[in-house]
Chains A and B, each alone.
Chain A
Amino acid sequence: MKRREFLKLFGVGVAVISLFDVLPRIMKGRELVRPPGGLVEDALNAVCIRCARCAQICPTGAIVLASLSDGFKELGTPRIDALRGPCERVQGRCERQAKCAEICPTGAILQVDRRALKMGSAIINADRCIAWRGGSCLVCHEVCPVQGAISLIDEARPIFHADICVGCGRCVYACPAQPKALSLSPKGERRPSSA
């Protein structure tokens, strides 16, 4: 094979791989944790005008805008990134009213009852957890605002109850393990279908 032919083949290969890597990801989108009261996925993507006001007003900085790798339809819409901060709708500065819902001009994020909140759930990777590895931690249990969402085995190791957890992400943000033993997933989320 000639140098030129090899390079051509190689180039085509790279192009094809890039397309196959990126395109499906963009088109399918990732499963995102949405701000409290965020409409169901299709409605949110349709109603949201990508104005970013929710991200600007979020007191903890937990709301970020979805990037292209989160999906083409999702690009620019708000998502919760618990690594930047917890959602304080359940406890904290948004207890009375969700500031994101208050400022949203189109109703893509609605004001929902705090007690009915379910944005998702925290998931533990026990292999990374300091307490599960025999250390002294339990920061997740310490900071959790929802009674019963995290219980302890032998008063030493945390167990997460996805059905009780509301997915505020405070434990994910506070987890001192490196890399984090906790992540936030939209699993079990309950979202309003429309205004």
Chain B
Amino acid sequence: MEPSETRKNKSPTATVSRRTFLKLLAAGVSGFLIARLFDFLATKTIETQTSTVTATVTKTVTATTTIGPTAKSAKVVMVRGAPNISPQALVDKALELLGGVEKLVPVGATILVKPNVGFYEKDAVTDPQLTAAVIRSLKRAKPARIVIGESSVRGFDTEHALRVTGMRGVAEEAGAEVRDLRKDTVVSVDLPKGRAITSVDIFKTVHDSSYIVNIPRLKRHSATVTTICLKNMMGTLPDSEKGRFHQVNLSQCIADLNSAIRPNLIVIDATRAMTRGGPTGGTMVDLNLVIASLDPVAADAVAAEELFKAEGVSDPHGAVSRIEHIQRAAELGIGVADSSKIEVLEVTLS
């Protein structure tokens, strides 16, 4: 057979022999696969590394824990001190005016103290000395245990925040156990009153506590106007839930969360408050003030007004009524935002 005839029988592309074609195909595909495999392996190793660090397991789904009666009126105490007055003196006076810790806290309570240690910046977190003062006072109520729990803002390592702000050392010395909640397991809690969300995952330590003491620092906040005790409760949630709050409706979610996990006692650190520019890197104002209440909504409303006054806002009262999460919380019956129904007891120590 002549070579020309051979060519005739084949198509123009058939200059590639079967063997060459298969080689080409195999080379192409394997090149492609190897590239993908590298990517896959790289991600895989990192994933296993990170998962060991942040692993939290949802254990149980529990029924609702709606706490506290629907408040009709509220009492808030404000204790101011001359510059030489210690945090302990301010805290002791505030708790005394609320009725005394022995009466407030049931004997044998498992107490969770929730300061704000969301950041590495000292001005942006609750004063450790004030936290220690609260712990020392709480011990007089003979609780079964006092745990300090925090899950810092996403992007901040809680363990480092606890150490660098001095919180861990001071709180442990005062007699509390300090826990990085990110290492805790999570529990799903129903929010029957919730308007934006119907359930939330919270850390088990928080869920299992019989008495929650919320010690926020008084600060302005770029997204929620203020961050006081209602907003501070976000530190009881894993990062995924914090993220969801922002995606859904931050203010309503904060109210929804507090409707089920309502702090029992609020002691606001307004010794140094952060005004404009908060929640980090804002302007600091020395107030040497402690605000305490059993009503988280009233505490936030009164404290927010003090913050606006310190800032020189023209209508501080009106400004409070425009803080959405405080108003949403009042609507859910978590507490009282209406200042005419809040009894404010103010004393100055000198």
Stretch at the interface among A104-112, A117-125, A132-140, A186-194: A132-140
CB of A72, distance to nearest CB on chain B (Å): 10
The CA of A192 and the CA of B239, in the complex, are separated in Å by 36
B250 touches A136 (CB 8 A): yes
A127 adjacent to chain B (CB < 8 Å): no
Which B238-258 residues sit within 8 Å CB-CB of chain A?
Answer: 242-247, 249-251
CB pair A136 B155 closer than 8 Å: no
Say yes or no: is B63 at the interface (Cβ < 8 Å to chain A).
no
Question: Which one, B11, B27, B224, contacts A136 given CB within 8 A?
Answer: B224
- Please, how many angstroms separate the alpha-carbon atoms of A40 and B346 in the complex? 62
Verify B42–A8 contact, CB threshold 8 A: no
Q: A67-B42, A142-B223 are in contact. Are A136 and B251 (CB under 8 A)?
A: yes
Residues of B within 8 A of A145 (CB): 280
Task: Flag if B281 contacts A16 (CB, 8 Å).
Answer: no
For residue B210, CB closer than 8 A to chain A, the reply is no
Is A14 within 8 A of B28, CB to CB?
yes
* Nearest-CB residue, chain A, relative to B119: A143
Whether B157 lies near A5 (C-beta < 8 A) is no
Inter-chain contact B155/A174, CB cutoff 8 Å: yes
CB contacts (< 8 Å) of B119 on chain A: these are: 143
- List residues of chain B with CB within 8 A of the CB of A68: 34-35, 38-39
User: In the complex, what residues of B have CB within 8 A of residue A183's CB?
Assistant: none
A19 touching B46, Cβ below 8 Å: no
Q: Give the shortest distance, in Å, between A93 (CB) and chain B (any CB).
A: 6
The interface size bin for chain A is 35 or more
Interface string of A58-98 (1 = CB under 8 A from B): 01110011011100000100000100111000011100000
Contact A11 B281 (CB under 8 A): no
CB contacts (< 8 Å) of B155 on chain A: these are: 85-86, 143, 170-171, 173-174
B-chain residues with CB within 8 Å of residue A81 when the two chains form the complex: 46
Give the complex CA separation of A174 and B242 in angstroms: 10
B154–A14 contact, CB under 8 A? no
Contacting pair B11 A5 (CB below 8 A): yes
Known contacts A61-B49, A68-B38, A155-B222: A136-B249 contact under CB 8 Å: yes
Contacts of B156 in A (CB 8 A): 92, 143
User: B16 at interface (Cβ–Cβ under 8 A)?
Assistant: yes
| In the complex, residue of chain A having the shortest beta-carbon distance to the beta carbon of B252 | A136
| Contact (Cβ within 8 A) A12 B21 | yes
Q: Which of A22, A152, A177 contacts B222 (CB 8 A)?
A: A152
- Chain A, residues 18-46, CB within 8 Å of chain B (1/0): the string is 11011101100000000000000000000
B316 to chain A, nearest CB (A): 17
User: A84, B46: Cβ atoms under 8 Å?
Assistant: yes
Q: Is there contact, CB below 8 Å, between B160 and A92?
A: yes
Of chain B, the residue at the smallest CB distance from A56 is B49
Q: Given the complex, which residues of B lie within 8 Å of A85, measured CB to CB? A: 155
**Is A15's beta carbon under 8 Å from chain B?**
yes
Do A176 and B50 touch across chains, with their CB atoms under 8 A apart? Answer: no
**CA–CA, A17 to B27, complex, Å?**
12
Contacts of A15 in B (CB 8 A): 24-25, 27-29
With A84-B50, A141-B222 as contacts: A11 and B21 at CB distance below 8 Å: yes
Q: How far is the CB of A97 from chain B (nearest CB, A)?
A: 15
Complex contact B246–A130 (CB within 8 A): yes
Check B203 for interface membership: any CB of A closer than 8 A.
no
Q: How far is B120's CA from A162's CA once the two chains are assembled, in angstroms?
A: 24
Q: Would you call B53 and A61 a contact (CB within 8 A)?
A: yes
- With A84-B50, A135-B249, A142-B279 known as contacts, the answer to whether A60 contacts B157 (CB < 8 A) is yes
Chain A interface residues toward B at CB < 8 A: 1-2, 5, 8-9, 11-12, 14-19, 21-23, 25-26, 59-61, 64-65, 67-69, 75, 81, 84-86, 91-93, 130-131, 135-139, 141-145, 147, 152, 155, 170-171, 173-174, 176-178
- Other than A11-B22, A15-B27, A135-B246, give 4 A-B pairs with Cβ distance below 8 A: A26-B35, A65-B42, A68-B39, A92-B157
Can you list 16 A-B pairs, Cβ within 8 angstroms, ordered by A? A5-B13, A8-B21, A12-B24, A12-B25, A15-B25, A16-B28, A18-B29, A59-B157, A69-B39, A93-B160, A130-B246, A135-B246, A152-B222, A171-B155, A176-B242, A177-B246
